[in-house]
Amino acid sequence: MPVSTTHAPREQLLLTRETPVQRRQVRTAWLFLTPMLLCLALVAVWPLLRTFWFSLTDANLADTSEGSFVGLSNYLFHNGSNWSGILVDPQWWNAVRNTLHFTVVSVGLEVVLGLLVALLLNIKFTGRALVRALILIPWAIPTIVSAKIWSWMLNDQFGIINHLMLSVGLIDAPLAWTADADLSMWAVIIVDVWKTVPFVTLLMLAALQMLPSDCYDAARVDGIHPLKVFWRVTLPLLMPALLVAAIFRILDSLRVFDVIYVLTSNSSSTMSMSVYARQHLVEFQDVGYGSAASTLLFLVVAVIAMLYLYLGRRQMEVRS
């Protein structure tokens, strides 16, 4: 005899309706979140809105209050004979290419090397705890400090890197790592990878510690090759952690400033979007133009972050 479903919609309505306890929990949650949201509005939203407003003016760093409203002229402006503005500035698009190149190469290397190091540190051996602690040292050093140390090491006159390469015969003459246009970007990438691989390693190692052991026990009993176990079991289970590490590093790399500025200053071969914005804002004292560059950088990062959140939500819905 079939079961009656006449009361199913009513039961679903009762399940979806909030109870007094749930409403009280929501109010309590908002009560605790309000101070944090107010602080976030003061330190993030207000400066962001002010930067966007400055991007619509011709304000100067000497006196920002004297700036007048110019609309979208800092972004794109047609004066009758030609176009001007940041969107038609070759230096801006060069900075965009440099930033994307830096992001793709550095994040790719960091994810691969971080995963390999995490797999090695997940193996039991004598002194593993000490090695795990030591590997975090590059990440713990402030970026400005590590970039300055590397700038001395990469110096073409007295740098230890050139000295070691000359002593083993890898090069015949010292290399100007941070001055040569063909080498400067790779020098920046090497320093950034050295600095941030421990961060990815830490995330991957935490994810490896949480993997279920029964899958590996069954694979060991069945005699499956370790490489096949890695590709079929370990890597799919690590994919959520890999995506989290990748998105964090992508967002950081897109707004990179310190390591590039310390190593190569305003060199066009390595200039990122952040360095470009700083140059116009501080050195050229053009607050309007520099703010327009900062606003475009924020939009790029925001779009990528929202796209990641959207795709992550879709993936969770598919899994559920």
pLDDT of residue 142: 92
Cβ atoms of 77 and 292 closer than 8 Å? no
- Place 79 in a pLDDT band, splitting at 50, 70 and 90: confident
Q: Which residues pair with 63 in a beta bridge?
A: 60
Are 272 and 261 a contacting pair, CB within 8 Å?
Answer: no
Report the alpha-carbon distance of residue 188 to residue 262 in Å, rounded. Answer: 10
Q: Which residue carries 């079939």 as its tokens?
A: 2
Chain position carrying tokens 């030609």: 82
Angle formed at CA 22 by CA 18 and CA 25, multiple of 5 degrees: 150
Going from the C-alpha of 92 to that of each of 71, 130, 150, 201, the distances in angstroms are 19, 45, 27, 34
Give the range among 97-101, 277-281, 313-317 with minimum mean pLDDT. Answer: 313-317
**Is residue 143 a contact partner of residue 259, using CB atoms and an 8 Å limit?**
yes
The answer to whether the CB of 92 falls within 8 A of the CB of 272 is no
Per-domain residue ranges of the chain: 99-270, 272-320
CATH superfamily of 99-270: MetI-like (1.10.3720.10)
pLDDT, residue 318, reads: 66
List, in order, residues 6 or more apart from 102 with CB less than 8 Å away: 185, 188, 189, 192, 253, 256, 260, 270, 272
User: What pLDDT score does 1 carry?
Assistant: 46
pLDDT of residue 103: 94
- Residue in 177, 199, 193 with CA at minimum distance from that of residue 102: 193
**pLDDT tens readout for residues 7-47:** 555 555 444 566 888 888 888 989 999 998 888 888 888 88
Return mean pLDDT, the chain: 87
Query: At 295, is the pLDDT very low, low, confident or very high (cuts 50, 70, 90)?
Result: very high
CA–chain centroid gap for 44, Å, is 18
> What residue type is 129 in one-letter code?
A
Q: Using a pLDDT cut of 90, give the percent of the chain over it.
A: 48
